[in-house]
């Protein structure tokens, strides 16, 4: 996060410093962590898979946030605008994770196709008491 | 000679004789619970209740942890339990996001804003961020009227739990009446008014337990299993960490408490909020039921704490 700290140090005199600091603080809280790299006027954040997640370009009184490359752009001057951009980023993160993982690729029907089908927790055989014993036992 | 095993009538053997006069005083004591015009008796503070405390340990994937937290919380709420989600992990996405909170509400957990927030999410689940010491006191207050609390914890769960010791210290279940109260909110309400004197505050309970074996701050600890994840803690205090297999293709894990089948993630909300009939939601429902029933079963939580049935 040296690049992030360097950017924050550089912009602390600008009017967009406060929303930018909040924005970057929230970005650093993403898990798995995003990887920042410097670019022309700001930073680019990549996912652990190397995909560009978002880009920040800082100008004097505002900063631009591009989500997922060029799909969405936010012009942020205030803390509220920064939160709106973060909200879009978190949503994009969830959608991207769904697209990456096998979870989304394997579509499960909303209702089980087997009549009366009901998936129970593993190792219970439909008996919550069995699961209860496993959860609460000391081993 | 065959013994009659059919249903017994009102005068059959083993019946409980109804004596209207005996319980009327008790009914008056709890009438404020079902009559809106009645106020609780003055000076009779409701004692601290025994609530289910579930820890969700970070797996390194905040989305998985948040999704499990949110789905379990919704299931507890649907089962009629007043539920609180406390977020001590400060990672995004967080349970507040999956429970449909507004950005300023769920981001407060990450941005460490002064003060604390308690927000209601989907199904009435209350969400509390735990970035500051003020929030710890708020959690203690919340737990007085809570049936289930889910605490999302970072990987260093034991360290994160230390500041919560007073808030999460719970009364030990020692009697059959107390066990029954964990299953029945109405019986619990009656028991609260029937106790003589007030229950000790959490701090006092901690203090009084100094000489006794150390009490656990969680009833159950769960950790989501995912491929390639680093090994996490095996136990928190004396409570063993139970793996939960979520979604992705993870090989069978020994001792897993549940296996949630894969599903398509909703952009903003936990699955239980948008597709309550989904098979994965049934798994969360079964897990929630098992956790609640285990609270009153008297089973030990590690060490030598197995209580008599």
**What does the pLDDT read at residue B13?**
37
Q: Is B247 on the interface with A (CB under 8 A)?
A: yes
Residue ranges of B 1-30 with Cβ closer than 8 A to chain A? none
Bridge-based pairing state of the strands A52-58 and A35-39: unpaired
B168 in contact with chain A, both atoms CB, cutoff 8 A? no
| Cβ burial B55-70 (10 Å sphere, 16+ → b, else e) | bbbbbbbbbbbbbbbb
- Mutation for B interface: A94, A110, A113, most B CBs within 10 A: A94
Give the residues of chain B that fall short of pLDDT 50.
1-21, 38, 40-48, 208-213, 298-309
The whole-number pLDDT of residue B23 equals 52
What integer pLDDT is reported at residue B2 of this predicted model? 44
What pLDDT does B101 receive?
Answer: 94
**pLDDT on residue A96:** 83
Instruction: For A78-132, write each residue's pLDDT tens digit.
Output: 999 999 999 999 999 998 877 654 443 333 333 333 333 333 344 334 444 455 4
Neighbours of B235 (CB within 10 A): 15
pLDDT score of B171: 60
Look at residue B297 in the predicted model and tell me its pLDDT: 53
Inter-chain CB proximity B282 and A84 less than 8 Å: no
CA distances from B178 to A103, B189, B301 (A): 42, 11, 17
B261 touching A, CB under 8 A?
A: yes
Q: Write the ipTM.
A: 0.73
Mean pLDDT (whole number) for A30-51: 90
pTM of the model: 0.72
Please give the domain boundaries of chain B with CATH numbers for all domains. Answer: 55-173+201-295 (3.40.50.300)
- For residue B202, what pLDDT is reported? 53
Predicted local confidence at residue B298, as pLDDT: 42
């Amino acid at each position: 996060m040296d690049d992030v700290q360097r950017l924050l140090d550089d912009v602390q005199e600008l009017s967009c410093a406060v929303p930018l600091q909040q924005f970057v603080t929230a970005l650093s809280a993403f898990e798995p962590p995003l990887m920042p790299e410097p670019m022309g006027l700001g930073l680019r954040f990549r996912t652990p898979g190397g995909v560009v997640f978002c880009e920040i370009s800082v100008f004097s009184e505002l900063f631009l946030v591009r989500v997922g490359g060029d799909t969405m752009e936010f012009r942020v001057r205030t803390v509220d605008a920064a939160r709106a951009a973060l909200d879009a980023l978190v949503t994009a993160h969830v959608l991207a994770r769904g697209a990456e993982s096998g979870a989304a690729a394997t579509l499960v029907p909303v209702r089980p196709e087997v009549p009366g089908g009901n998936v129970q927790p593993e190792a219970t055989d439909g008996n919550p008491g069995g699961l209860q014993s496993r959860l609460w036992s000391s081993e | 000679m065959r013994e009659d095993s059919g249903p017994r009538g009102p005068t059959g053997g083993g019946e409980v004789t109804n004596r209207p006069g005996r319980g009327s005083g008790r009914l008056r004591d709890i009438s404020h619970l079902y009559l809106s015009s009645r106020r609780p008796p003055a000076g009779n503070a409701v004692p601290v209740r025994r609530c289910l405390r579930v820890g969700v340990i970070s797996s390194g994937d905040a989305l998985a942890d948040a999704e499990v937290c949110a789905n379990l919380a919704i299931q507890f709420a649907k089962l009629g339990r007043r539920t609180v989600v406390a977020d001590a992990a400060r990672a995004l996405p967080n349970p507040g996001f999956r429970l449909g909170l507004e950005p300023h509400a769920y981001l407060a957990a990450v941005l460490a804003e002064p003060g604390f927030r308690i927000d209601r999410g989907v199904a009435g689940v209350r969400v509390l961020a735990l970035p500051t010491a003020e929030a710890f006191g708020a959690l203690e207050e919340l737990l007085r009227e809570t049936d289930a609390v889910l605490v999302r914890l970072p990987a260093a769960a034991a360290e994160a739990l230390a500041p919560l010791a007073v808030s999460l210290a719970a009364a030990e279940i020692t009697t059959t009446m107390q066990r029954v109260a964990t299953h029945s909110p109405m019986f619990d309400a009656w028991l609260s008014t029937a106790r003589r004197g007030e229950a000790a505050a959490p701090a006092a309970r901690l203090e009084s337990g100094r000489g006794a074996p150390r009490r656990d701050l969680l009833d159950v600890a769960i950790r989501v299993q995912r491929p390639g994840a680093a090994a996490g803690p095996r136990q928190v205090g004396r409570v063993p960490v139970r793996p939960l297999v979520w979604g992705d293709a993870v090989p069978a894990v020994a001792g897993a408490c549940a296996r949630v089948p894969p599903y398509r993630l909703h952009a903003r909300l936990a699955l239980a909020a948008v597709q309550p009939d989904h098979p994965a939601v049934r798994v969360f429902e079964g897990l929630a039921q098992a956790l609640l029933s285990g609270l009153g079963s008297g089973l030990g939580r590690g060490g030598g704490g197995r209580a008599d049935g």
